Chain A
Amino acid sequence: MTAVTSTAVRPAAPQRPRRRITWSKPVIYFIALILVAAMLAPVAYIVIGGFRTNSEISQDPAGLPTVWHVSNYLDVLSSEVFWREAGNSVIAAVATTLLVVVLGLMASFALARYSFRGRGLIYTLFTAGLMFPITVAITPLYILVRSLGLMNSLAGVIIPQVAFALPMTIVILVPFLQAIPAELQEAASIDGCGRLGFFWRMVLPLSRPGVVTVGILAFIASWNSYMLPLFILNDDTSFTLPLGVQAFSSQYSMDTAKVLAFVSLSMLPALIFFSIFERRIVGGLTGAVKG
């Protein structure tokens, strides 16, 4: 893609820069600035609010802190509850991500590189799964998880999350795996590499952008997941962060500043994770859209 665009740009190069410098630039930057402000203001309100005191917040809800108090953040960071809930969230998100990637990659490899009867049917079944959001299945899912004895356990959250993440995973990964040229597989097999060897040595490295995209989407979805834990996790020692945040905010509804500090800290990991991998998400989506 880069090679194509760079060669294509060259003939028109004398015209493009001139166009960009003229009227549009300041307008675009101004719009971009407003946009960024609108996107970030609520986040800033939450983060900055955590540095204020409750009396400040009630007197002047929209102001900046006069003195930046870190005590709210320190309180949250030194509380056992926060770390327990963060730990639960980490376990759930990491396990979900690993399982989704492993199961999804295996199934996508079979769907993309093998031809067998029923392949089309299975693929259609998985893509149809895109239309079954967890909301519709939540009540019976709760009954199912309860009858499996997984209530109040992270496994009861992880397994359904994996199941519901699989359709998107397979839809994104199959085009990636199909795009690997057949010649590569031929060459590998001539060199004495079996189909599974091909999977390990060629497919895994080549499909990494797709895998990273899928993994990030699964991680963030699990980290933010609310409805499923709300049904499955009733015991507050098993709470993940979203449930914990809600419980904390109703328990300390008078202590707005502390709630804001708790909320900011709980969104931090997903944000960091996302900013590191953002470029790859867009890359992965592009591959999927193109394919």
Chain B
Amino acid sequence: MASVTMKATRVDAAPADRADGENTSPSARRRRRGIGWAARIELIVLIAPALVVFLAFVIFPVAMAAYYGFFSWNGYGPATDFVGLRNYVTIFTDPTFHDALWHNGVIVVLSLVIQGPVALGLALLLNRKMRGQSLIRVLIFIPYVIAEVVVGIGWSLMLQTEGGLNGLLEKVGLGSLASDWLADPKLAIWSLVGILTWKYVGFAVILFLAGLQGIPEELSEAAAIDGASFWQVQRHIVLPLLGPTIRIWAFLSIIGSLQLFDLVYIIWGQYVASTAGTSTMATYMVVNGRNAGSYGYGNAVAVVMFVISLVIALLYQRFVLRRDTEGALTGGKKSR
């Protein structure tokens, strides 16, 4: 530290210079500092391993899927049976896929509509100073940390007709409400949404709490001094400032809902999911791709899923997140 202050005059110019160099003229900066081959080798050593692994195991497989999607292929030997768009035609004319897509849509909407407000309310409550606060924060996050397999097996044991929930309902005299939570097509998707809410609401709460910590307390204090009630402060100051965090959470939730696989596959298995009305695009892909030995078809489903997710992601960024990049500049200045 001492050296920093001592050399203050000399260092003074550096930050501004550096900020420029970062964004506009990297070459100028490199020349000035005399960074040459040594730095390039450093850079390659630093960045190449991550980049290679990422390209080989994330980007390349996605490209592979696009290629194999045009073939009828059992997964062994080279793919030779080129079928053009036939896989895609099959996907879009298959009523089973339509069902799966519909279920995904329902899950997306219900996750947003249920988890969002619940998590927001909880985060606002937990953001107040109270006894046992840190304990509650840990406990609320526990379902998120538990493996999908554990959640799936635990909940399916609780929700089966002879399971814990119906037993509990009988005990408290509500035996008439006992149902077949998992197999009844009218109920199954609601059971799934219930389980999803239980598992993922903690993640939203933690995210919102992290966002709330970034909101300067002075704003709420000032409003409180001016006579605003607790809820007025939340509604008019905290919520708008939390907007970016909420929109990022919604984005993650949508993408997660579109890709949902583990819980459905574990609880309902590959055969029951479609009859119970909980199949998703991902379970459809695994059942009709890998399990059926039709790898070309499975890849085509993966491409469809990817395109749907990508289109939604791009639309979301274009129409929803864009406001944040605009607002972030002004909002950022204000909070600083």
For A164, the closest partner residue in chain B by CB is B58
For B260, the closest partner residue in chain A by CB is A135
From A69-77, A204-212, A277-285, give the one contacting chain B. Answer: A277-285
Instruction: Give Cα A142 to B149, complex, Å.
Output: 20
Task: With both chains docked as a complex, state the minimum distance between the C-beta of B31 and any C-beta of chain A, in angstroms.
Answer: 12
Contact with A along B132-158 (1 / 0, CB 8 A): 101011111111011111110111011
Contact A132 B50 (CB under 8 A): no
| Chain B interface bracket (under 10, 10 to 19, 20 to 34, 35 or more) | 35 or more
Contact with B along A267-288 (1 / 0, CB 8 A): 1001100110011011001100
Q: A259 at interface (Cβ–Cβ under 8 A)?
A: yes
List residues 22-72 of chain B with CB under 8 A from any CB of chain A. 22, 26-27, 29-30, 39-40, 42-43, 45-47, 49-51, 53-54, 56-62, 64-65, 68
For A291, the closest partner residue in chain B by CB is B214
Contact A32 B43 (CB under 8 A): no
Residues in chain B near residue A141, CB distance under 8 A? 57, 61
Residues in chain B near residue A12, CB distance under 8 A? 221, 224-225
Instruction: Give Cα A62 to B157, complex, Å.
Output: 11
Contact A46 B150 (CB under 8 A): yes
Q: B255 at interface (Cβ–Cβ under 8 A)?
A: yes
Of B26, B125, B138, B168, the contact of A115 (CB 8 Å cutoff)? B26
Of B136, B209, B266, B310, the contact of A131 (CB 8 Å cutoff)? B310
Residues in chain A near residue B45, CB distance under 8 A? 106
Instruction: Give Cα A167 to B14, complex, Å.
Output: 30
Residues in chain A near residue B190, CB distance under 8 A? none
Instruction: Give Cα A279 to B135, complex, Å.
Output: 10
Residue total for A at the interface (Cβ-Cβ under 8 A): 109
Q: A3 at interface (Cβ–Cβ under 8 A)?
A: no
Residues in chain B near residue A107, CB distance under 8 A? 46-47, 49-51
Contact A278 B141 (CB under 8 A): yes
Contact A259 B164 (CB under 8 A): no
Instruction: Give Cα A8 to B220, complex, Å.
Output: 11
From B3-11, B95-103, B180-188, give the one contacting chain A. Answer: B3-11
Residues in chain A near residue B327, CB distance under 8 A? none
Contact with A along B205-216 (1 / 0, CB 8 A): 011011101101
Contact B224 A256 (CB under 8 A): no
Contact A163 B158 (CB under 8 A): no
Q: A160 at interface (Cβ–Cβ under 8 A)?
A: yes
From B81-89, B106-114, B271-279, B301-309, give the one contacting chain A. Answer: B301-309
Contact A43 B148 (CB under 8 A): no
Residues in chain B near residue A4, CB distance under 8 A? 216
Contact A61 B305 (CB under 8 A): no
Q: A15-B225, A140-B61 are in contact. Are A133 and B217 (CB under 8 A)?
A: no
Q: A81 at interface (Cβ–Cβ under 8 A)?
A: no
Q: A39-B202, A136-B65 are in contact. Are A9 and B224 (CB under 8 A)?
A: no
Contact A139 B53 (CB under 8 A): no
Contact A122 B64 (CB under 8 A): no
Residues in chain B near residue A114, CB distance under 8 A? 39, 42-43, 46
Residues in chain A near residue B30, CB distance under 8 A? 115-116
Residues in chain A near residue B58, CB distance under 8 A? 129, 132, 137, 163-164, 166-167
Q: A36-B139, A195-B42 are in contact. Are A49 and B157 (CB under 8 A)?
A: yes
Contact B57 A144 (CB under 8 A): yes
Residues in chain A near residue B29, CB distance under 8 A? 115
Q: B239 at interface (Cβ–Cβ under 8 A)?
A: no
Of A35, A129, A140, A275, the contact of B140 (CB 8 Å cutoff)? A35
Of B53, B146, B157, B289, the contact of A271 (CB 8 Å cutoff)? B146
Instruction: Give Cα A49 to B158, complex, Å.
Output: 10
Q: A31 at interface (Cβ–Cβ under 8 A)?
A: yes
Residues in chain A near residue B65, CB distance under 8 A? 136-137, 139-140
Contact A39 B139 (CB under 8 A): yes
Contact B157 A260 (CB under 8 A): yes
Residues in chain A near residue B130, CB distance under 8 A? 25, 28-29, 32
Q: A38 at interface (Cβ–Cβ under 8 A)?
A: yes
Q: A246 at interface (Cβ–Cβ under 8 A)?
A: yes
Q: B326 at interface (Cβ–Cβ under 8 A)?
A: no
Given A139-B289, A140-B302, 14 new contacts (CB under 8 A): A28-B128, A32-B132, A42-B198, A45-B158, A107-B46, A114-B43, A125-B54, A132-B62, A132-B306, A137-B302, A163-B58, A166-B53, A182-B15, A241-B149
13 pairs, CB–CB < 8 Å, chain A vs chain B? A1-B213, A39-B140, A43-B142, A49-B157, A103-B49, A110-B46, A116-B43, A140-B299, A163-B57, A182-B15, A184-B4, A226-B266, A274-B141
